[in-house]
Amino acid sequence: MINLELPKKLRASANQAHQVATEIFRPISRKYDLAEHEYPVELDTMAAMVEGLADSGTQKIGGAAGGREDDSESDAHATELLGNSNGGNMSALLNALETSWGDVGLMLSIPYQGLGNAAIAAVATDEQLKRFGKVWASMAITEPSFGSDSAAVTTTAVLDGDEWVLNGEKIFVTAGQRSTHIVVWASVDKSLGRAAIKSFVVPRDAPGLSVARLEHKLGIKASDTAVLLLQDCRIPKDNILGSPEVNVEKGFAGVMQTFDNTRPLVAAMAVGVARAALEELRAILTDAGVEISYDTPPNNQHAAAAEFLRMEADYEAAYLLSLRAAWMADNKKPNSLEASMSKAKAGRTGTDVSLKAVELAGAIGYSQRTLLEKWGRDSKILDIFEGTQQIQQLIVARRILGKTSAELK
Give the burial class of 107: count Cβ atoms within 10 A of its Cβ; 0-12 exposed, 13-18 middle, 19 or more buried: buried
Neighbours of 200 (CB within 10 A): 23
**149 phi, psi to nearest 5 deg:** -85, 85
How far lies 126's CA from each of 68, 113, 324, in Å? 9, 19, 26
Instruction: Please name every residue paired with 227 in a beta bridge, in sequence order, or none if there are none.
Output: 213
Buried b (16+ CB within 10 A) or exposed e, 83-100: ebebbbbbbbbbbbbbbb
Give the CA count within 13 Å in the CB-facing half-sphere of 213.
4
DSSP of 208-221: TEEEEEE---SS-T
Which amino acid is residue 265, in one-letter code?
L
3-state DSSP assignment of residue 391: helix
The one catalytic residue among 143, 312, 373, 386: 386
Which amino acid is residue 93, in one-letter code?
L
Residue among 234, 247, 233, 230 nearest 161 (CA)? 234
How far lies 230's CA from each of 184, 227, 234, 394, in Å? 10, 10, 9, 31
Q: Active-site residue 386, yes or no?
A: yes
Neighbours of 327 (CB within 10 A): 24
Round to whole Å and give the CA distance between 316 and 305: 16
- To the nearest 5 percent, what fractions of the chain are helix, strand and coil? 55, 15, 35
Tell how strand 225-236 and strand 163-174 pair up.
antiparallel
Tell how strand 181-187 and strand 137-140 pair up.
parallel
Residues with catalytic roles: 386
